[in-house]
């Protein structure tokens, strides 16, 4: 099958590469000449494990093609996926300008019959508006069906999530479109859920918002654990053993970030408001998430008697989660900015995200080549992102290089007793 993807961000490029690897001819449309030329050479614009190899292999095989011209991609394709960004506006609602621009450009390039699918996360009613745009701008004789197939990729494991999803949601009222999408997804493991457009649109927001709620709940339990003298890790472990709940996403830390959870929580609040409902639960989830990062900063400040002037703090981990270089809404941004405002000197290290971090962190931040160099002479180390390499650090070596061995474990990746036995003053999240 020949298919096209509009957009080469995480969703567009990963999904396009996987479908190309499954034997399809896949076109990807971009807007930036430099990025398109790099992609033609197999050079990817972001880090995702295994993606560079996947892109290079399929470019060389002639199955994965990149262009700036919609006509190149739309005309030969049976199915066209819209995979552009939907960032939040000031009030939290999704900005759909890129989606509607993509729909207009697709419409003008339509030839014959096509299935136009939205993978971007959009509020209910958006796909119907896309249908109106397609009807308005399509040439005489062209026809189409619309569908919504939301993505559920996790950065850091996006390729595996594309091949082995828990579910493939297909929202459409067209039997022909449903059959074509079912055929395309035959090699993909995962239960197919058929529904109407509005249901598919809402599923993605509901899923991300519930996951965000679990994270915020875990962080409230951690805060309460510190106050009553409980161990949040044991509390959440026991709660997670209940098969009705599970442990996934029930982990305390410094809060969630990334391109999806923060914006999707705000967007669902906005969607509810549009229909006359005050989504107090998700408002609280968002507020708790902000407070969680602030609590971590206050914990650091409190250790130093609220005097961080000229204190050297080594921050380990900058990306919003491991196995990605994505800095969007990363908790490290807020934490570092607050520490700098309090007078601290920050030395940071991340395995892959430092170049992106330099563009969003305040001037004056120092960057180290590894964790041990970052910690050298530090008054404290703060672990913000739970990269695997941090879990295997030689903590005795880390302590020897520090001015004072103080460890703020923002992801609870260490056993407190073992760390304290090495001479550290240890602070976890919800742990004594």
At 246-278, the pLDDT tens digits run 999 999 999 999 999 999 999 999 999 999 999
At residue 432, the pLDDT reads: 77
pLDDT digits (tens, 9 = 90+) for 80-120: 999 999 999 999 999 999 999 999 999 999 999 999 999 99
Examine the domain organization and report whether 168 and 242 are in the same domain.
no
Residue 161's CB: how many other CB atoms inside 10 A? 19
Looking at the predicted structure, is the pLDDT value of residue 155 above 80?
A: yes
Examine the domain organization and report whether 229 and 360 are in the same domain.
yes
Contact between residue 120 and residue 85 where contact means Cβ atoms under 8 Å apart: yes
Examine the domain organization and report whether 151 and 12 are in the same domain.
yes
Examine the domain organization and report whether 44 and 92 are in the same domain.
yes
* Token pair listed for 297: 């900063």
Give the separation between CA 301 and CA 313, rounded to whole angstroms: 11
Secondary structure (H, E, C), the chain:
CEEEEECCCHHHHHHHHHHHHCCCEEEEECCCHHHHHHHHCCCCCCCCCCHHHHHHHHHHCCCEEEECCHHHHHCCCCEEEECCCCCECCCCCECCHHHHHHHHHHHHHCCCEEEEEECCCCCCCHHHHHHHHHHHHCCCCCEEEEEECCCCCCCCCHHHHHHCCCEEEEECCCHHHHHHHHHHCCCCCCEEEEECHHHHHHHHHHHHHHHHHHHHHHHHHHHHHHHHCCCHHHHHHHHHCCCCCCCCCCCCCCCCCCCCHHHHHHHHHHHHHHCCCCCHHHHHHHHHHHHHHHHHHHHHHHHCCCCCCCCEEEEECCCCCCCCCCCCCCHHHHHHHHHHHCCCEEEEECCCCHHHHHCCCCCCCEECCCHHHHHCCCCEEEECCCCHHHHCCCHHHHHHHCCCCEEEECCCCCCHHHHHHCCCEEECCCCC
The overall average pLDDT reported for the chain is 97
Give the separation between CA 167 and CA 70, rounded to whole angstroms: 30
Residue 203 lies in a domain: no
% the chain with pLDDT above 90: 99
Looking at the predicted structure, is the pLDDT value of residue 159 above 90?
A: yes
Residue 257 lies in a domain: yes
Examine the domain organization and report whether 368 and 314 are in the same domain.
yes
Complete edge-to-edge strand list for the sheet that includes strand 345-349: 366-367, 345-349, 312-316, 380-383, 406-409, 425-427
Examine the domain organization and report whether 183 and 220 are in the same domain.
no
Residue 147 lies in a domain: yes
Domain that holds residue 98: 2-195
Looking at the predicted structure, is the pLDDT value of residue 305 above 90?
A: yes
pLDDT digits (tens, 9 = 90+) for 354-409: 999 999 999 999 999 999 999 999 999 999 999 999 999 999 999 999 999 999 99
Handedness of CA 228, 232, 234, 239 (dihedral sign): positive
Complete edge-to-edge strand list for the sheet that includes strand 2-6: 64-67, 25-29, 2-6, 79-82, 113-118, 143-148, 167-171, 191-195
Residue 108 lies in a domain: yes
Residue 200 lies in a domain: no
Examine the domain organization and report whether 392 and 368 are in the same domain.
yes
Picking from 172, 195, 218, the residue at the C-terminal end of a domain is 195
Contact between residue 402 and residue 429 where contact means Cβ atoms under 8 Å apart: no
Looking at the predicted structure, is the pLDDT value of residue 45 above 90?
A: yes
Give the separation between CA 124 and CA 129, rounded to whole angstroms: 10
Residue 202 lies in a domain: no
Angle made by CA atoms 27, 33, 36, in degrees to the nearest 5: 35
Q: Is 42 left (phi over 0), alpha (psi -120 to 50) or beta?
A: left
Examine the domain organization and report whether 187 and 221 are in the same domain.
no
Q: List, by residue number, the catalytic residues.
A: 260
pLDDT digits (tens, 9 = 90+) for 307-364: 999 999 999 999 999 999 999 999 999 999 999 999 999 999 999 999 999 999 999 9
At residue 193, the pLDDT reads: 97
Picking from 195, 225, 241, the residue at the C-terminal end of a domain is 195
Give the separation between CA 388 and CA 317, rounded to whole angstroms: 10
Examine the domain organization and report whether 190 and 267 are in the same domain.
no
Examine the domain organization and report whether 248 and 385 are in the same domain.
yes
Examine the domain organization and report whether 386 and 280 are in the same domain.
yes
Examine the domain organization and report whether 320 and 249 are in the same domain.
yes
CATH number at residue 137: 3.40.50.720
Residue 42 lies in a domain: yes
Picking from 171, 195, 219, the residue at the C-terminal end of a domain is 195
Contact between residue 300 and residue 380 where contact means Cβ atoms under 8 Å apart: yes
**pTM, 2 dp:** 0.94
pLDDT digits (tens, 9 = 90+) for 209-233: 999 999 999 999 999 999 999 999 9
- Sole residue written with tokens 């262009």: 67
Q: How many domains does the chain have?
A: 2
Contact between residue 267 and residue 195 where contact means Cβ atoms under 8 Å apart: no
% the chain with pLDDT above 70: 100
Rounded average pLDDT over 16-35: 97
Residue 432 lies in a domain: no
Contact between residue 293 and residue 255 where contact means Cβ atoms under 8 Å apart: yes
Give the separation between CA 426 and CA 299, rounded to whole angstroms: 11
At residue 429, the pLDDT reads: 97
């Amino acid at each position: 099958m020949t298919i096209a993807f509009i957009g080469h961000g995480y969703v567009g490029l990963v999904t396009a590469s996987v479908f190309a690897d499954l034997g399809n001819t896949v076109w990807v449309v971009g807007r930036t000449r430099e990025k398109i030329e790099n992609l033609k050479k197999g050079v990817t614009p972001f880090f995702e494990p295994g993606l560079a190899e996947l892109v290079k292999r399929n470019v060389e095989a002639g199955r994965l093609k990149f262009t700036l011209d919609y006509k190149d991609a739309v005309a030969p394709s049976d199915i066209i996926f819209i995979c552009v960004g939907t960032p939040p506006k000031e009030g939290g609602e999704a900005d759909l300008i890129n989606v509607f621009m993509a729909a207009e450009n697709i419409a003008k390039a339509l030839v014959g019959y096509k299935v136009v699918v939205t993978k971007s996360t959009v509020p209910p009613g958006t796909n119907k508006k896309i249908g109106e745009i397609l009807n308005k701008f399509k040439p005489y004789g062209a026809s189409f069906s619309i569908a919504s197939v939301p993505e559920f990729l996790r950065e850091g494991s996006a390729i595996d999530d594309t091949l082995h999803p828990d579910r493939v949601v297909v929202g459409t009222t067209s039997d022909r479109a449903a059959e074509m999408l079912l055929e395309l997804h035959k090699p993909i493991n995962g239960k197919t859920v058929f529904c109407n457009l509005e249901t598919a649109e809402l599923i993605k927001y509901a899923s991300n918002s519930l996951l965000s709620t679990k994270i915020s709940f875990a962080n409230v339990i951690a805060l309460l654990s510190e106050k009553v003298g409980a161990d949040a890790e044991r509390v959440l472990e026991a709660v997670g053993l209940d098969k009705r709940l599970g442990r996934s996403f029930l982990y305390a830390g410094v809060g969630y970030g990334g391109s999806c959870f923060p914006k999707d929580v705000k967007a669902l609040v906005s969607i509810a408001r549009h229909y006359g409902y005050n989504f107090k639960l998700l408002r609280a989830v968002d507020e708790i998430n902000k407070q969680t990062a602030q609590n971590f900063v206050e914990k650091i400040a409190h250790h130093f008697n609220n005097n961080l002037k000229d204190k050297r703090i080594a921050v380990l981990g900058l990306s919003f989660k491991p196995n990605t270089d994505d800095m969007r809404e990363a908790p490290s941004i807020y934490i570092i900015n607050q520490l700098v405002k309090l007078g601290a000197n920050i030395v940071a290290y991340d395995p892959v995200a430092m170049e992106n971090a330099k563009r969003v962190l305040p001037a004056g931040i120092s960057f180290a080549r590894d964790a041990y160099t970052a910690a050298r002479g530090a008054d404290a180390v703060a672990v913000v992102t739970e990269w695997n390499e941090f879990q295997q650090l030689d903590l005795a070596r880390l302590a020897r290089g520090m001015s004072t061995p103080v460890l703020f474990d923002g992801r609870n990746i260490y056993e407190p007793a073992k760390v304290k036995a090495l001479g550290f003053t240890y602070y976890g999240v919800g742990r004594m």
